[in-house]
Structure 1
Amino acid sequence: MSKIDLSGKHALVTGGSSGIGAAVVRALAAAGASVSVMARKPNHSAQDEKMYDNPKVEFIELDVSDSKAVTRVFADVAARKGIDISVLSAGLLLAGKLLDTDDESWRRTMAVNLDGLFYTTRESIRHMMAQGRGGKVVSIGSISGYRGNQGFAAYCTSKGGALNFTRQVAMDYAAHGINVNAIAPGFIYTSMTDIYDKETKAKLAAQTPDGKWGTSQQVADAVLFLSSNLADHIHGQSILVDGGWTLGVFAQP
C-alpha cells in the first residue's frame, strides 16, 4: 500500500482557517507539505489547536472574491515557495428560496463560490504552468452541485456551476500534468452547517444510508488522496463524501 508523502511540496488552502479547510491544512502538513493558509481572517479555534505553531504553516489574509488581491497573493506565494497543490475551500452558504433571495445575497454567493473559484483556479493554473512541473488543484464543492436542496437557491446554483467548471478546466490542462478535481461533501459537522437545528440534523442523518453526518477529517482524507501522486490519472472528477446521501431516496429498514 502506498503511503502519501508530500515532503518537498508546497500547498495553499483557501478558506483554511476553520472547518473543512483547517482539517485539510492539518492533513497536508502531517503528510509533509508546507502550507499557506488563506482566509479573510484567522479563526481563533484553529489557533487554539496550535495549527499555526507548525513552522510549515503560514497564514495570509485574502478575500477570494477580490480578483486583484488573489493575483497579487498567489504571485507572492509562487515566487517564495512555488505552488504544487491548491485546495480551494473558501465558500459561502446563505439560505433562501428564489423569492427570498435579494440581489445582494445572490451576488455575495456568486462572488465567493463562483468568482472566487475562478480567480483562485486561474492563478493556480497560471503558476503551475509557469513552473512546468504539473500540480494538483482540488476544490471543495457540495452535494448541492448534484441535486437541489430546498431553500438554498443561490448556493445550489453556485455549486452546480462549480462542478462543471471543474470538468472544463480539467479537460483544458490535463495534458500539462495538472490534475483538477473536486470533493463534494454531504452534511458535515462545521460552523457553516450550524444553520441547521438539532432536529433537522437528526432528520438528515436518518435520510443518509450510513445514518450519520460526516466529519471534516473525512473530507480532508479525500483531499489528501487527490493531492497526491496516487491521483495522477484522475481528472475532472468530484468525489462524493456524503455517507451515500446522493444515491437516492433511502428507506430505513
Structure 2
Amino acid sequence: MNKIDLSGKHAVVTGGSSGIGAAVVRALASAGASVTVMARKRYHSAGDSELYDDPKVEFIELDVSDGKTVTRVFADVAARKGIDISVLAAGLLLSGKVLDTDDETWRRTMAVNLDGVFYATRESIRHMMAQGRGGKLVSIGSIFGYRGCQGFAAYCTSKGGALNFTRQVAMDYAAHGINVNAVAPGFVHTAMTDIYDKEMKETLAAQTPNGKWGTSQQIADAVMFLSSSLADHIHGQSILVDGGWTLGVFAQR
C-alpha cells in the first residue's frame, strides 16, 4: 500500500481557515507538508483555531478577489518557502434566480469563485514554472459545475466556468510537470451549507444513492491524492465526491 508522504513539500491553501479548506490544511500537514493558509480571517469558528497549533502551519490574510494582493502574497510566500502544492478552496455561495440576482451579487460571486481561482492559479503556475520542479494544483469545484441548481444562477455559472478553466490550464501546463485538477464535492456538512434547513438536508440525503451527506475530511482525502505523486499521470480531471448524487435520479427502494 502506498502511503502519502508530503514531507519537504510546501502547500498554499486559499480559503483554508474553515470548512473544507481547513480539513485540507489538516490533511496536508498530517502528511508532512508545511502549509500556508491564505484567507480573509484566521479562523471562522473556535473549532478551527487549533489549525495553527501545528508549527508547520502559518496564516496570511488574503482576499482572493484582489488580484494585485494575490500577486504580492504569492510572490512573498514563493520566495520564502516555494510552492509545491496549491489548493484553491476559497468560495462563496449566494442564492438567487436570474431575476433575483442583482449586479453586486453576480459580481461578488464571480470575483471570488472565478476571478479568485484565476488569480491564484496564475500565480501558482508562475512560481511553479520558475522553480522548475513541477507542482500540483487542485481547485475545489462543485457538483454544480456539472449541472444547474434551481435558484443559484451566479453560483452554478461560476463553478461551471472554473471547471472548464481547470481543463484549459491543465492542457497548457502538463508538459511542465504541473498537474492541474479539481475535486467536486456534493452536499457536505459545512457552515456554507447551513443555508439549507433540516428538511431540505434530509431530502437531499434521500436523493443520494449512498443516502448520506459528505464530510470535509472525505473531500480532503481526494485533495490529498491529487496533491501526491500517486496522481502524477492525472491532468485536467475533476473527481466527484458526491455519494453518487450526479449519477441521476435515485429511486428509493
Two-structure CA RMSD over aligned residues (Å) = 0.8
**Structure 2 match to 1:2:** 2
**Structure 2 match to 1:108:** 108
Deviation at 1:45, TM superposition (A): 2.5
Name segments (4+ residues, structure 1) moved above 2 Å: 44-49
SS of residue in 2 equivalent to 1:16: coil
**Structure 1 match to 2:76:** 76
Residues 16-66 of structure 1: per-residue CA shift (max 9 Å, x gap): 000000000000000000000000011253565511010000000000000
Sequence identity, in percent? Answer: 87
Counterpart residue identity of residue 127, structure 2: H
Counterpart residue identity of residue 4, structure 1: I
Q: Structure 2: how far apart are the matches of 1:50 and 1:196?
A: 27
Residues 214-251 of structure 1: per-residue CA shift (max 9 Å, x gap): 00000000000000000000000000000000000100
Q: Structure 1: how far apart are the matches of 2:69 and 2:25?
A: 21
Residues 134-187 of structure 1: per-residue CA shift (max 9 Å, x gap): 000000000000001110000000000000000000000000000000000000
Q: Structure 2: how far apart are the matches of 1:154 and 1:44?
A: 24
Counterpart residue identity of residue 94, structure 2: L
SS of residue in 2 equivalent to 1:119: helix
**Structure 2 match to 1:134:** 134
Residue 224, structure 1, aligned to residue 224, structure 2: yes
SS of residue in 1 equivalent to 2:219: helix
Counterpart residue identity of residue 102, structure 1: D
Residues 17 and 48, structure 2, Cα contact 8 Å, conserved in 1: no
Residues 171-209 of structure 1: per-residue CA shift (max 9 Å, x gap): 000000000000000000000000000000000000000
Alignment of 1:4-43 (within 5 A): 4-43=4-43
SS of residue in 2 equivalent to 1:73: helix
Residues 15 and 91, structure 2, Cα contact 8 Å, conserved in 1: yes
SS of residue in 2 equivalent to 1:136: strand
Q: Structure 2: how far apart are the matches of 1:90 and 1:165?
A: 16
Q: Structure 1: how far apart are the matches of 2:77 and 2:238?
A: 27
Residues 210 and 243, structure 2, Cα contact 8 Å, conserved in 1: yes
Counterpart residue identity of residue 156, structure 1: C
TM-score (norm 1): 0.99
**Structure 2 match to 1:197:** 197
Counterpart residue identity of residue 78, structure 2: A
Residue 241, structure 1, aligned to residue 244, structure 2: no
Alignment of 1:91-102 (within 5 A): 91-102=91-102
Q: Structure 2: how far apart are the matches of 1:44 and 1:146?
A: 29
Distance 1:48 1:244, change over 3 A: closer
Residue 62, structure 1, aligned to residue 73, structure 2: no
Structure 2 alignment gaps of length 5 or more: none
Q: Structure 2: how far apart are the matches of 1:127 and 1:228?
A: 18
TM-score (norm 2): 0.99
SS of residue in 2 equivalent to 1:50: helix
**Structure 2 match to 1:178:** 178
